[in-house]
């Protein structure tokens, strides 16, 4: 279709969000940080110093908590490695 192609004939693509703009789910956070979902939920409840800010992207009654990937990666850099 003509609507799917730019004037030069190439397909239009949306730029991928940068890590500072990309949101991830709680499950993604747990996987990336190699922590259990339960541990992430405990951190969400207790809010330790430096823990990434949580964003609610819900459009209704069901909450959809998300975290910025860049903030998660920065938080992981501050954690001790063992």
Q: Report which of 4, 74, 79, 66 is spatially closest to residue 35, judged by C-alpha positions.
A: 79
Of residues 81 and 26, more confidence is placed in 26
Closest CA to 78 of 56, 52, 60: 52
Higher-confidence residue of 2 and 75: namely 75
Instruction: Please state the pTM of the whole predicted model.
Output: 0.71
The C-alpha atoms of residue 69 and residue 58 are separated, in whole angstroms, by: 18
Chain segment 5-62, per-residue pLDDT in tens = 555 555 566 566 665 689 999 999 999 999 999 999 999 999 999 999 999 988 888 8
- What is the dotted CATH code of the domain comprising 16-78? 1.10.1660.60
- Bridge partners of residue 66, in order along the sequence: 25, 55
Average confidence (pLDDT) over 73-78 = 93
């Amino acid at each position: 279709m003509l609507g799917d192609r730019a004037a030069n004939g190439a397909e239009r693509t949306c730029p991928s969000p940068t890590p500072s703009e990309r949101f991830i789910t709680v499950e993604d956070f747990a996987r990336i940080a190699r922590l259990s979902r339960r541990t992430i939920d405990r951190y969400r409840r207790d809010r330790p110093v430096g823990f990434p800010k949580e964003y609610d992207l819900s459009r209704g009654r069901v909450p959809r908590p998300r975290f910025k990937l860049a903030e998660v990666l920065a938080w992981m850099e501050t954690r001790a490695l063992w």
